[in-house]
């Protein structure tokens, strides 16, 4: 499985395209401007990839700004955890609050994901971890064979997700990090929702929030 990172929108959010054979999954499409849409589309077309799904780690506005573009462009569905539905349903108001006047309303997911679900991706598997605390329905995606975790806004290089937004809770977040993430193999690469890629060993050693 391969992974390509893009950093989009005023929040510098990381959008990931994971691909295997000629199929791809788009995780947290954050493209907001036409230029950003073209960058994403250009990568997919240049590599002759066929998008099959949109996955959202959670429904905060910076992670869903490109949902409509991607869903309509390739006629694919959105998958996320149902506990983040209130956030998604409130997204237009949130966009207005941040002055994101070009926000294109995200379609609603037809399917929900939860702990224990597995997405079979051309023979490779993505495990779903339920990791609330930053948002009530936050999930992470784990590919064991490539040793990759896509962590959304749960953990960052030397930091953790904020817990002061609606539905956030610090104790819940720390419990998610301890029970779902730090127990993964030390060499696991963590592809975060913002900032640089990191790994389990470095976060155990250097992350000031985990000492
Ligand atoms: Zn977030
Ligand atoms: Zn974010």
pLDDT tens digits, residue range 64-93? 999 999 999 999 999 999 999 999 999 999
Domain of 47, CATH number, reads: 3.60.15.10
Nearest bound ligand to the CA of residue 133 = 1
The alpha carbon of residue 146 and the mean position of all alpha carbons in its chain are separated, in whole angstroms, by 17
Structure tokens at 27: 């995780």
Residue 141: pLDDT band (50, 70, 90) is very high
pLDDT value, residue 63: 98
- Residue 27's domain spans which residues? 2-210
Residue 180: pLDDT band (50, 70, 90) is very high
Say which residue the tokens 């064979």 belong to.
145
Q: How far apart are CA 113 and CA 51, in angstroms?
A: 18
pLDDT value, residue 123: 92
pLDDT value, residue 105: 98
pLDDT value, residue 39: 98
Residue 11: pLDDT band (50, 70, 90) is very high
If you measure from the C-alpha of residue 134 to the centroid of ligand 1, how many angstroms do you get, rounded to a whole number? 7
Q: How many domains does the chain have?
A: 1
If you measure from the C-alpha of residue 48 to the centroid of ligand 1, how many angstroms do you get, rounded to a whole number? 30
Nearest bound ligand to the CA of residue 14 = 2
> Average pLDDT for residues 185-202, to the nearest whole number?
98
Beta bridge partners of 111: 79
Please state, rounded to an integer, the average pLDDT across all residues of the chain.
97
Residue 57: pLDDT band (50, 70, 90) is very high
CA angle 185, 81, 48 (to 5 degrees): 75
The arrangement of strands across the sheet holding 189-192 comes to 118-121, 124-130, 139-143, 148-152, 189-192, 198-199
Residue 206: pLDDT band (50, 70, 90) is very high
> Average pLDDT for residues 181-202, to the nearest whole number?
98
If you measure from the C-alpha of residue 26 to the centroid of ligand 2, how many angstroms do you get, rounded to a whole number? 16
């Amino acid at each position: 499985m391969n992974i390509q990172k893009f950093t989009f929108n005023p929040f510098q959010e990381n959008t990931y395209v994971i691909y295997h054979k000629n199929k791809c999954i788009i995780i947290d499409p954050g493209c907001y401007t036409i230029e950003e849409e073209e960058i994403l589309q250009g990568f997919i077309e240049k590599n002759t990839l066929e998008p099959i799904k949109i996955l959202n780690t959670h429904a905060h506005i910076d992670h869903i700004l490109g949902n409509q573009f991607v869903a309509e462009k390739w006629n694919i569905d959105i998958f996320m955890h149902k506990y983040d539905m209130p956030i998604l349903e409130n997204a237009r108001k949130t966009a207005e609050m941040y002055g994101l006047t070009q926000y294109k309303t995200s379609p609603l997911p037809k399917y929900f994901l939860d702990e224990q679900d597995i997405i079979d991706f051309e023979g490779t598997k993505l495990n779903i971890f339920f990791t609330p605390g930053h948002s009530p329905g936050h999930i992470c995606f784990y590919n064991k064979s490539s040793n990759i975790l896509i962590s959304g806004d749960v953990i960052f290089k030397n930091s953790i997700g904020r817990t002061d937004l609606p539905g956030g809770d610090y104790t819940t977040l720390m419990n998610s990090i301890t029970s779902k993430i730090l127990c993964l193999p030390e060499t696991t690469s963590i592809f975060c929702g913002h900032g640089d890629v990191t790994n389990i060993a470095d976060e155990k050693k250097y992350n000031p929030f985990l000492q």
